[in-house]
């Protein structure tokens, strides 16, 4: 993650990345030891820090200004888990056909 502490704290960055990877509010909260309401507040603060109206907008801004990279979103080197890609999308991208 390209650290820019002047824009938002690391915890907000991490939670926003987890949200972008497809984690639920409950999953993110568990990872950070927070309840769902507090988790939503932190994600909302991350959006506000970037002037975004919602998490997907915050993600787009973060990518555009270099706060996050596409590699940050893949999650391959990160404790918070990999990007959740649905099985049907994986199959479509590899050309595999689901078993009937």
CATH code of 10-94, in short, is 1.10.10
- Please write the tens of the pLDDT for every residue from 37-55: 999 999 999 999 999 999 9
**Reported confidence tier of residue 75, pLDDT bands at 50, 70, 90:** low
Cα–Cα separations (whole angstroms), residue 61 to 2, 10, 14, 18, 51: 13, 16, 15, 16, 9
pLDDT at 78 over 70: no
Distance CA 96, CA 98 (A): 7
90 CB-near residues (< 8 Å, 6+ apart): 96
State the helix-helix crossing angle for 25-32 and 36-49, rounded to 10 degrees: 100
Whole-number mean pLDDT of the chain? 82
Q: What is the CA radius of gyration of the chain?
A: 15
pLDDT for position 44: 95
pLDDT for position 90: 73
For the chain, which residues make up each domain, given as ranges?
Answer: 10-94
If DSSP codes are grouped into helix, strand and coil, which group holds residue 89? helix
The model carries a pTM of: 0.74
């Amino acid at each position: 993650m390209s650290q820019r502490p002047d824009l938002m704290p690391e915890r907000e960055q991490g939670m926003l990345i987890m949200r972008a990877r497809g984690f639920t509010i409950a999953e993110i909260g568990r990872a950070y030891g927070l309840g769902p309401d507090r988790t939503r507040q932190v994600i909302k603060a991350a959006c506000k820090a970037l002037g975004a109206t919602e998490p997907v907008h915050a993600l787009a801004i973060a990518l555009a200004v270099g706060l996050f990279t596409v590699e940050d979103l893949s999650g391959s080197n990160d404790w918070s888990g990999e990007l959740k890609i649905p099985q049907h999308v994986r199959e479509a991208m590899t050309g595999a056909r689901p078993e009937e």
